[in-house]
């Protein structure tokens, strides 16, 4: 992709060859059981990608890491910024790339991507958040896990929880490997972490206050977070304020 030097992203997005990098991808892929779409935010938290690769390999699952080179986005950020035409074009090209592979299961780590693929795309294939797929692997016996003595608390991301009604799969996985402790506000009543792609209304201290108040009540060893914007932007802040807990 050619980045504009005049600082005009709209002109950049309106270039006719903007999506050429998708057209240049091979039309056929090696045989795979599933497609793995990490998502932009997951690429900012690389430990999730490392973990998913280890899980696929441990379960002997052949996977196609479709956005490994970081060139594909689900299109939601473009849509949120008002670039509807470009977002729709991107979704069309992603759809073609996914369907022509012939693979029938798409797995994504990013809750934003998961909601986008399930509600904004017309894909006649199975679409799973990685927590749902990990739960399936554990139940089928393909993924062997050990129970830890760690206690964990889980925060429901807005997009995955209220957005897609995915509440139990992450908890089932965590309960299999740790002791999951309920929080004061969870599932449908979970508070927003305070971060999102378009948030400019709250200062950092106020954004973090919502989640820190909840963490203060449970005083546990680890806070397990599924939303990558929460994790990446808040982890260092949490470490300073709650040393030894996060």
Q: What are the residues facing 64 on neighbouring strands?
A: 35
**Which residues lie below 8 Å from residue 150, measured CB to CB, with a gap of 6+?**
178, 179, 221, 222
Per-residue pLDDT tens digits for 18-32: 566 566 665 556 689
> Once rounded to an integer, what is the mean pLDDT over residues 63-81?
85
Cα–Cα dist 97/34, whole Å: 14
Q: Could you tell me the pTM of the whole model? A: 0.76
Confidence (pLDDT) at 185: 80
Higher-pLDDT residue of 70 and 52 is 52
Per-residue pLDDT tens digits for 185-219: 888 888 776 655 545 455 666 666 655 665 665 55
**DSSP conformation class of 187:** G
Confidence (pLDDT) at 124: 92
Burial of 191 (0-12, 13-18, 19+ CB in 10 A): middle
> Once rounded to an integer, what is the mean pLDDT over residues 125-142?
96
Higher-pLDDT residue of 225 and 185 is 185
89-113 burial code (b ≥16 CB/10 A, e <16): bbbebbeebbeebebebbbbbbbbb
Confidence (pLDDT) at 4: 42
Instruction: State yes or no: pLDDT of 5 exceeds 80.
Output: no
Of all residues in the chain, what percent are helix, strand and coil, respectively (each to 5)? 45, 10, 45
- pLDDT level of residue 36 (50, 70, 90 thresholds): very high
Confidence (pLDDT) at 222: 47
Confidence (pLDDT) at 231: 44
Shortest CA distance to 43 belongs to which of 19, 66, 76? 66
Percent of all residues in the chain with a pLDDT value above 90, rounded to a whole number? 35
Confidence (pLDDT) at 14: 58
Query: CB-side exposure of 135: number of CA atoms within 13 Å?
Result: 15
> Once rounded to an integer, what is the mean pLDDT over residues 136-146?
95
Per-residue pLDDT tens digits for 145-175: 998 888 888 888 888 989 899 999 999 999 9
Per-residue pLDDT tens digits for 231-246: 444 445 445 544 544 4
Instruction: State yes or no: pLDDT of 10 exceeds 90.
Output: no
């Amino acid at each position: 992709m050619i980045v504009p030097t005049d600082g005009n992203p709209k002109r950049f997005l309106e270039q006719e060859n903007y999506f050429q990098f998708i057209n240049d991808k091979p039309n056929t892929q090696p045989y795979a059981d599933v497609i793995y779409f990490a998502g932009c935010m997951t690429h900012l938290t690389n430990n999730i990608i490392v973990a998913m690769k280890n899980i696929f390999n441990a379960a002997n699952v052949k996977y196609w890491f479709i956005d490994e080179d970081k060139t594909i986005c689900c299109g939601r950020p473009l849509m949120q910024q008002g670039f509807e035409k470009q977002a729709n074009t991107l979704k069309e090209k992603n759809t073609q790339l996914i369907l022509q592979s012939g693979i029938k299961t798409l797995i994504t780590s990013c809750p934003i991507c998961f909601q986008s693929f399930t509600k904004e795309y017309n894909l006649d294939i199975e679409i799973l958040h990685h927590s749902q797929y990990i739960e399936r692997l554990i139940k089928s016996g393909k993924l062997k896990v050990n129970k830890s003595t760690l206690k964990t608390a889980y925060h429901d991301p807005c997009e995955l929880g209220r957005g897609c009604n995915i509440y139990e799969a992450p908890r089932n996985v965590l309960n299999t490997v740790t002791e999951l402790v309920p929080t004061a506000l969870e599932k449908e009543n979970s508070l927003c972490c305070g971060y999102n792609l378009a948030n400019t209304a709250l200062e950092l201290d106020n954004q973090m206050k919502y989640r820190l108040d909840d963490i203060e009540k449970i005083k546990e060893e680890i806070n397990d977070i599924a939303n990558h914007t929460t994790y990446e932007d808040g982890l260092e802040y949490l470490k300073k304020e709650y040393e030894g807990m996060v």
